[in-house]
Every structure is written in C-alpha cells, then in structure tokens.
Amino acid sequence: MDMAQITDLFITGTGSEPMQSVTEVHAVADRGLRGDRYFNGTGYYSPYDVCQVTLIANEAIDAIDREFGFDLTAGEHRRNVVTEGIDVHDLLKHRFRVGDALLEGTRPRPPCAHVEQLNEQEGVARALKDGRGGICADVVESGRIGVGDSISDIEAMDKTASIIERLRSK
C-alpha cells in the first residue's frame, strides 16, 4: 500500500445536520467518533443501522464529480473519513491503523435515500452506488485520527487461508 492517508474528516452532532469538516477526531473503542451523530445516538438510522465510522475514497468522490457532476467534497457524501491511495473495500474484514486508532472494516456502506434528500440533488444516491459509497468500520482501540494521518493495513480478520495452510504443512 503506497501512502494511503486521510484527506478529510467529517462529523455532525445529529442525523440530518450538515457534516462539519474537522482536522482531528477522537475514536472511542466500541463507540465511534466522539461528537458524531452515531456516537451520540442521534443518527438518522439510530439505533437500527449504525456504523461507528464510515470511510470513503477521495478517488470515488472525484469519479462522481466527473461522471455525474456532483461536488461532494464538503461532506455531502455523509461519510466520516475520506481516504486517498487505497480502495477502502480492501479494508473490509481487516484490522487497520488510522492515526492512533485501530479500526476493523465490517461491511460496505451503500448509499441511501436520506443522503439524496439532504443534498436536494436527484441522483446522488445512484452516484454513490457501484462501490463508491464506502465502508463501515468499528473502533477496536481508541485513539486520535487526524487529516494527513496514514492508513496501515494490519491483518486480515479471516484467518481461514492461513489455518488451512498450517494444517496442510503438518
């Protein structure tokens, strides 16, 4: 992985408020990002569909702008962490370090109708499909996350292949 890093961070205190750009956040184990709507329990989908942290690739945001003409750079994508230099889907079922925090990629985060309602632009949800909507992650170890921090893949959570290899070598 070459220089994968964070280019932007966004949080908002409640579910339908605009995302606010911040330079750093504190990730809290088993809770999410301090000050964010899902940490506070005030997210639009709380308590039924909660992602502690959401990540989206800057490359996906650029592709959406080129293909659909939607500028989502001010957080209209409704994701917390904007990455550069990595396909965020490669972090699914992996533990990875972002700044001082350890996260675990849990599932894709497809777009929803709510993101389109807030943007008041028809087609935003469709533009975020096809793998451009990002992923969800859980906070495993608390720590500070800041713009410019690197992203380091630590380990795959699915150990099946390595277990099978060990059994075969016995």
Name residue, tokens 């809770």: 31
Nearest to 106 by CA among 44, 41, 50: 50
Give the global pTM. 0.87
**Residue 73 contacts residue 56 (beta carbons within 8 Å):** no
Domain count, the chain: 1
Instruction: Write the pLDDT tens digit of every residue in 17-30.
Output: 889 999 999 999 99
CATH code at position 12: 2.40.33.20
> Which string of b and e fits 71-103 if b means at least 16 CB within 10 Å?
ebbebbbbbbbbbbebebeebbebbbbbbebbb
The first and second tokens of residue 76, run together, are 């209209």
Domain range for 150: 5-168
Instruction: Write the pLDDT tens digit of every residue in 46-63.
Output: 666 789 999 999 999 999
Instruction: Write the pLDDT tens digit of every residue in 116-150.
Output: 566 667 778 788 888 899 999 999 999 999 999 99
Instruction: Write the pLDDT tens digit of every residue in 85-94.
Output: 999 999 999 9
